[in-house]
Amino acid sequence: MAEGEQEEAFGDDATHELAAVMLEEVRQEIAHADEKASLLIGGLGIAFTLLATGFIEGGWSLNLSSVLGKLLWAVGGLAAFVSVGAAALAVWPRMSAPPGGVIAYWGHLRGMRSGADVARALTASGLREPERTFQQLMVLSMVAQRKYHNIRISMASAGAAVVILALALVVTR
């Protein structure tokens, strides 16, 4: 791509600087999302441990003869499972293949055996600035959105699980 075409396609220096700032912001947002999801997983683990301890120690006895009680426990357990699964998906590392064979970030260097291999690959298909910044901004923005989507699912499912399991305790005690 010629210099004039590149400037037209990717804007001026101010646009590139803005994209670089936004890229740093989205990286920080991903770190915050991972922290939130980790806290959710930890909190859910503590809640489930307390619930399991009540049953294991024999302090709680349940009357599971009613269909409603069984249904509430099953639905509440499913909501809890969905909550943990969604939080885990939010922090699950994704290793994606390069789009169109281009190398846009360090993860695309996977499988290379030497520095010379890396240099050849970057020369042949490495993205140059400012295109690389725009590519990373686009991809990492999607990653951050996916993480927050999973966190929302986890929080909603955890809330539903708390309500449903509390009802199940009341109905089956």
pLDDT tens digits along 42-76: 999 998 888 888 778 877 778 888 999 999 999 99
On whether residue 116 sits in a domain, the answer given is yes
CA distance 78 to 51: 15
pLDDT reading at 94 higher than 70: yes
Structure tokens at 82: 């969905």
CA distance 165 to 73: 6
On whether residue 59 sits in a domain, the answer given is no
On whether residue 117 sits in a domain, the answer given is yes
On whether residue 43 sits in a domain, the answer given is no
Structure tokens at 135: 């590519």
Smallest Cα–Cα separation from 145: which of 22, 26, 21, 37?
Answer: 26
**Can you give the pLDDT at residue 40?**
93
On whether residue 56 sits in a domain, the answer given is no
Across the range 70-87, mean pLDDT stands at 95
On whether residue 12 sits in a domain, the answer given is no
On whether residue 83 sits in a domain, the answer given is yes
Which residues, other chains included, contact 107 with Cβ-Cβ below 8 Å and sequence gap of 6+? 95, 96
pLDDT reading at 10 higher than 90: no
Structure tokens at 49: 């441990």
pLDDT reading at 28 higher than 60: yes
pTM > 0.75: yes
**Can you give the pLDDT at residue 110?**
83
Range of the domain at 133: 29-37+65-173
On whether residue 24 sits in a domain, the answer given is no
For the chain, give the percent of residues with pLDDT over 90: 59
Inter-CA distances, 108 with 22, 63, 120, 128, Å:
22, 55, 13, 15
Domain count, the chain: 1
